[in-house]
A and B are shown apart, each in its own frame.
Chain A
Amino acid sequence: MADLRSNRRRTILILLILTSITLITLDTRGGDSGVGGTVRNAARDAFAPVQDGVDQLLNPVADWWDGVTKAGSIKDENRRLRRELQAERGKVATGRAARAEIERLKGLAKLPYAPSIPGVEAQIVIGSPGNFEATVTLNKGTDDGVGTNMPVVAGAGLLGRVARVSGRRATVLLLTDRDSGVGVRDVRSQAQAVLNGNPDTQLQTLDALEAASDVKVGDDLVTIGNPDSPYPPDIPVGKVVAVRKRTGDLTQRVTIRLLADASTTEFVRVLQWPVP
C-alpha cells in the first residue's frame, strides 16, 4: 500500500516536471506568436478590468504604503528635488528655463524630442507581480496601436521598451531590468557605451566605455539609435553623476542617473517606432 502511494507520488511529480519542461520549450521557441503567447495575452486581457478596478480602489492605500516604505528615499528625493528646484529658479530669472518648464508641462503630446515620431499616450497601471524583472504594465495594447519593441518615454526621457503586448495591455521592460540593454552616446564628447540594466535603482553604470573617452560629470546621454536597435536616436536617457578612471584600465567606470523614473511616473508615451 505504501509502495503504491509512493509510486503515485512519483508519477504525479514526473508528470508535472515533464509538463513544465514542455511548456518552457514551447514558449521559448514559439515566443509571442506561439500557444504560450496567445494564452498569456488572453489572460492579461481577461484580468485587465479586475486590475483597473482594484487599482482605483487601492490608490489611496498604495500611496499610504509608498509613504511608509519609502520614507527614507522620499526624504533624499525631496532634498535632491529642492536642490534642483533652486537651480531651476536661478534659470527662471533668465527666462530660458521658464520657457523649458512650460514646454515640459505642456505634456507628453509635445515632447521636446522625437517630434516626428507618432505616439500613443498611455497610463502605467501596475508594476510587475514578480521579483526578478523590472516591468510596468500600460493600459494600452495592440487595439490602440502599441506594438512589441516600441520605445516608451516619459516626460524626462526614455523609460524602456514594450516587451509584450496584448489587445488591451502592454508590458514595458524598464531600462533598470537586468535583461535591458541600450546603446547611449555622450552628447558633448560623442563617446559611446552600453547601458545594461541594474534593478531597483536609478543609478546605473555604463559598460564598455573606453578609458580614453572624455566623459565628464553633468554630461547628457542620449540613445545612439543603431539601425538594429529598437530605439530611435537622440532620446534623452540620463545624466553622468560620477566618473572613475584608474590608470592601466582599458575602460572607465561611469555612473549615470536615469532621467525617467517609473516609480514617479503615471503617464507615458509609446513611440510608434520604426515609423511605418
Chain B
Amino acid sequence: MAGAVMAVRLVRLALLLILLTVLQTAVFPHLRVAGVVPDLGLVAAVAIAVRYGPETGAAFGFAAGLASDLFLQTPLGLAALSFALTAYLVGAMQNTLARPARWMRPAIAVGGGLVAGLLFVGLGALVGQEQLFAVLSLRTIVLAAVYDGVVAVAIFPLAISVADPRNGLGVRAAGY
C-alpha cells in the first residue's frame, strides 16, 4: 500500500515537473518583466522543501533544475545543483523554525531565488562560465528573485498539494 502511495506521488510530481517545464520554456519567455523570468521549478522545490523536508525538496529541485538545464546554454547539471542545494538549505532552515504563515511564502521564495541565483553564478564561474560573474548578474538575480516571490503565490499551494503523500489521485487544496 505504501509503495502504491509512493508511486502515485512520484507520478504526480513528474506531471508537475512537466507542467512547470512547459510553462518555463513556452509561456514565461513571453512574460518577461524587466528582462527576467521566474524559476518556476525552483519555487516549487522551495515550497516542497518547506512543507515536506529538505531531502524531498532537494530531490525535486535537482529534477527541476535538470529540466531547466536541458533548455539552457550553461553546462547540464548547473541549475540542478543550484536548485537542489537551495531547496536543501531552505528546508533545513525551516526545520529549525515554526511553520511559516501563508503570507511568508513569497518572502521565502525571494530568499530562495537569491540563494539559487548566487549559487548558479558562483558555481558557473567555477566551471568555466566566467561571463556569469558580472555586476549585472546581481541585478538579474535580485529582479528574478522578486518575480519568484510573485509566482510563489500560485506555485506554493500547487506544489504542496501535488507533493502531499496523503493525497489520492485528486488534487485538493493544501494549507497549513
- By a beta-carbon cutoff of 8 Å, the part of chain A in contact with chain B is 8-9, 12-13, 16-17, 19-24, 26-28, 36, 39-40, 43-44, 47, 50-51, 54-55, 58, 61-62, 65, 69, 126-133, 135, 163-164, 171, 173, 178-179, 198-200
Interface SS of B by simple majority: helix
Interface SS of A by simple majority: helix
Cβ of B99 within 8 Å of any chain A Cβ, yes or no, is: no
A171 to B29, CA, bound (A): 14
Number of A-B contacts (CB under 8 A): 146
A126 to chain B, nearest CB (A): 5
A61 touches B30 (CB 8 A): yes
Contact of A54 among B22, B68, B121, B128 (CB under 8 A): B22
A176 to B24, CA, bound (A): 22
A-B contact pairs, 19 of them (CB 8 A): A13-B54, A13-B84, A13-B85, A17-B81, A20-B84, A27-B77, A28-B75, A28-B127, A55-B26, A62-B31, A126-B25, A127-B32, A129-B29, A129-B71, A130-B79, A131-B144, A133-B72, A178-B132, A199-B136
> Taking A50-B22, A178-B132 as contacts, is the C-beta distance between A44 and B70 under 8 angstroms?
yes
B10 to chain A, nearest CB (A): 15
Cβ of B3 within 8 Å of any chain A Cβ, yes or no, is: no
B117 to chain A, nearest CB (A): 8
- Who on chain B is nearest to A47 by CB? B25
A135 to B140, CA, bound (A): 16
Cβ of B78 within 8 Å of any chain A Cβ, yes or no, is: yes
B73 touches A12 (CB 8 A): no
B73 touches A164 (CB 8 A): yes
Cβ of B7 within 8 Å of any chain A Cβ, yes or no, is: no
B138 to chain A, nearest CB (A): 12
- With contacts A13-B88, A28-B128, A200-B35 known, what are 20 further pairs, Cβ within 8 A? A9-B53, A9-B88, A21-B77, A23-B69, A24-B127, A28-B75, A39-B70, A43-B70, A50-B22, A54-B26, A69-B32, A127-B30, A128-B72, A129-B37, A130-B68, A130-B72, A130-B74, A133-B73, A178-B131, A179-B73
B155 to chain A, nearest CB (A): 16
A28 to B88, CA, bound (A): 25
B73 touches A16 (CB 8 A): no
B117: chain A residues at CB < 8 Å are 131
Q: How many of chain B's residues touch chain A, expressed as a range? A: 35 or more
A164 to B136, CA, bound (A): 25
B59 touches A16 (CB 8 A): yes
A131: chain B residues at CB < 8 Å are 35-37, 39, 117, 140-141, 144
A36: chain B residues at CB < 8 Å are 75-76
A120 to chain B, nearest CB (A): 21
B120: chain A residues at CB < 8 Å are 132
A223 to chain B, nearest CB (A): 21
A62 touches B30 (CB 8 A): yes
A22 to B127, CA, bound (A): 12
